[in-house]
Amino acid sequence: GEWEELAEGQRVGPYRVVREIGRGGMGAVYLAVRADEEFDQRVALKLVGLGSAAEIVRRFRAERQILAHLDHPNIAKLLDGGTAEDGRPYFVMEYVEGRPIDEYAGKLPLRERLALFREVCAAVHFAHQNLIVHRDLKPGNILVTADGVPKLLDFGIAKLLDPGRSDPGLSDLGLRPMTLQYASPEQVRGEPITTASDVYSLGVLLHVLLTGRSPYAAAADDRPALERAILQGETVRPSQAVATREEARRLAGDLDTIVLRAMDPEPGRRYASAEQLAADVQRHLDGLPVLARKNTASYRLDKFVRRHKAGVATAAAVLLLVLGFSVTVTLLWQRAQRERDRAAAVSDFLEDLFARADPSQSRGETVTVREALDRGRQQIAGGLQAAPETRASLMETMGRVYRSLGLHDQARPLLEESLRIRRRTGQDPVAVASNEINLALALQEMGKRDEAEPLLRDGLEILRRQGATATLDYAAGLNNLGGLLKERGDYKAAEALFREALSLKQRIPRSDREVARAYNNLGDVLYAQGDIAAAEPYLRTGLAIRRRLFGGEPHPELATSLSNLASLLEAKGERSEAKALYREALAMRRKLYDNQGTKVAQSLGNLAFVLLAEGRPAEAEPFAREALALKLPNDFYRAVFLRHLAASLAGQGRGREAEPLAREALAIFRFSKSESSRWRTPDAESVLGSCLAAQGRYAEAEPLLLDTYLVLKADRGEGAHYAPAARQRIVDLYMAWGRPDRAAAYRNGEASTAPAPPAPPDRHTDRG
């Protein structure tokens, strides 16, 4: 059909075009946004060309119908559809900002490339289960987001296997659209297409991901030679397509065979499904025999030896092999027995401990979790008879629970002693690493970052050496070290660690909690860099996962997600939703922490701050006072809440009462090593200026307020969010001083509309 390039700002239905992002045989694709601004969301809008042939329009409508059946995390979602004013159909999809899978995977380790491929297989299998064949699987139709999530796109030439679900002619459009390099032999011959055709294309894709090259020797632009290679099965093995001997060694055997089976010229000899192909890749990763190879005794033995290198030690003689195997099995059995006994002992101890908190067992006495833990700690300190492994496990477990309750003084000695036991008795390195990471987290939350960092780095290095990177402890270590670097102001390094943690989500079973932490942390560090638009979806996703995980029940991690998203919304000026989230977090933390501790104080401070931003200092005051009355881990937290109380008093005209509080906060910030002191110090000076102004000391207040406003305005991080409030204090100063002309100069422009700054207390990366 004729092409009419839509101009920027042109409307299609309720959407406004931003720019063209691609075009193909059926139509053009545009980046668009909602014109009515009901939703702040970027979308991909696909519009058929003017004057397109009936078959093209039918294929276009077919793609829209097909997408309506597909709701899968690895398939770009259909969001909307309709007919433009000129009668052309259009549909709207999730906008995927990513790179083609072959480009993204180019420098990934082999295991990660294979894990990525398995996600693609899952999406294709889902489509097949919905009776849909894609028919154009290629890197350009599989984009990988910055978070490492592959998204399957473009079902424009897909086929429905159930004609009863479609319009007449939808299942077979009588056309042979395809990308030849990824096409199956039956596509080339124009024969009926089944799911086996997509399995073949997945085989080609796997070859490309493994080698970076096409499986055919024929040049891509030599169509006759390429068709001949496809039809005659002239496939180059992956191990023969790479440049180095080491690469060839890694691909020879299983991976060669898997690719060749998926690409068998005969559909009946390929894998029966995309799921079966993915399962064989996983079997290879697990060191198990793959279905694609003959199940000979020698092959099974070879796979067994590879899986048990430490135990079987590649003996030359059959007798030595058998003896070595017997010894290994015995040692493994003994180790398993010890592990079982240790786990049983830990379980029995904890079960007995918390049974005492059950009213039916405590003779009517109310026993809290804290009291039960204290009794257990006393029991261990009193000389609990147990093996060193058991003592260490018990102490670490209880230390983690104490930490989760915010009781760091009780958590630290337990975690330190369990680590000493493990190091002294030469226990499993992975257990030592886990212990180091958990102790580091407690130290971080106590503000002892210099002590935490070497523990985190050592723990992560041990896990890397042990090949234990696909573990929850490793993901937790990445999140924790990223949090430490973020607090230091090394945002880019922190961002890289959070993205690495997020990339592990498909490799770690039952990893939803660490995935949610990574989403939250990544959103947090993007926000700290001033990129609110990029941060918001990560924070919302993290919150959604946690709501699902905890079912709305109070939980520390859920409370942190609520607070962090609220802080971002406040920065955007969306105070109504922000306040609702802050209040939900406060109510949750009051229950969780018995109305005590740092987290409760943070939530109180958040509400004080948002009330101040709304010009309600009298309502903010009691929240700030309650926060200061709680036990806080260090002076830095105290300074934050002193600042809030000083601001609330100054806002009520009680400048003399507020001034010493502001000066105390300012002194703490000036001598703090925290990166955030860069902007907290001028913010506190600005609050001090408002205290002076409230006492009528306008000449003293003026230079303070003017200078600090300029500093905050120039800040490229979180400090910039505090500039509007600092400017408003200047306006208030000049109005009180009787100089409305000067006030107007600062009020004009953004002063009256700028959003309030985000609340600072929860600007600590979530590590809970």
Active site residues: 136
Q: Which H or E run includes 507?
A: none
Residue with tokens 């990366």: 765
- Positive/negative CA dihedral, 504, 506, 512, 515: positive
Q: Which two tokens stand for residue 587?
A: 């109510």
Instruction: Indicate the DSSP class of residue 720.
Output: G
Contact 705, 695 (CB under 8 A): no
Q: What angle do CA 218, 223, 225 make, to 5 degrees?
A: 40
Residue 763, helix vs strand vs coil: coil
Comparing CA positions, the residue from 642, 736, 646, 640 lying closest to residue 680 is: 640
Comparing CA positions, the residue from 46, 50, 48 lying closest to residue 32 is: 46
Q: Which H or E run includes 725?
A: helix 723-736
Contact 437, 476 (CB under 8 A): yes
Backbone dihedral angles phi then psi of residue 425, each to the nearest 5 degrees:
-95, 5
Question: For 193, left (φ over 0), alpha (ψ -120 to 50), or beta?
Answer: beta
Question: For 287, left (φ over 0), alpha (ψ -120 to 50), or beta?
Answer: left
- Give dist(CA 20, CA 706) in Å, integer: 45
Q: Which H or E run includes 11?
A: strand 11-12
Instruction: Indicate the DSSP class of residue 108.
Output: S
Residue with tokens 């056309």: 175
Instruction: Indicate the DSSP class of residue 131.
Output: T
Residue 708, helix vs strand vs coil: helix
Return the half-sphere exposure (C-beta side, CA atoms, 13 A cut-off) of residue 140. 9
- Give dist(CA 164, CA 645) in Å, integer: 69
Helices (H), 446-511: 449-465, 472-488, 491-503
Which residue type does 307 have?
Answer: R
Order of strands across the sheet that contains 78-83: 11-12, 15-23, 27-34, 42-48, 89-94, 78-83
Which residue type does 600 have?
Answer: V
Contact 75, 60 (CB under 8 A): no
145 bridge partner residues: 98
Residue with tokens 């102001």: 489
Backbone dihedral angles phi then psi of residue 675, each to the nearest 5 degrees:
-60, -35
Q: Which two tokens stand for residue 183?
A: 């096409």
- Give dist(CA 227, CA 185) in Å, integer: 8
Comparing CA positions, the residue from 189, 185, 187, 181 lying closest to residue 226 is: 181
Backbone dihedral angles phi then psi of residue 96, each to the nearest 5 degrees:
-105, 115
Exposure string of 217-241, with b = 16+ CB inside 10 Å and e = fewer, is ebeeeeeeebbebbeeeebbbbbeb
Strands (E), 27-184: 27-34, 42-48, 78-83, 89-94, 98-100, 132-133, 142-145, 150-152, 159-160
Comparing CA positions, the residue from 76, 1, 86, 2 lying closest to residue 45 is: 76
3-state helix, strand, coil in the chain (%, to 5): 60, 5, 30
Name, in order, each residue with C-beta under 8 angstroms of 487's C-beta and a sequence gap of 6 or more.
449, 674, 675, 676, 764, 765
Q: Which two tokens stand for residue 614?
A: 């709304």
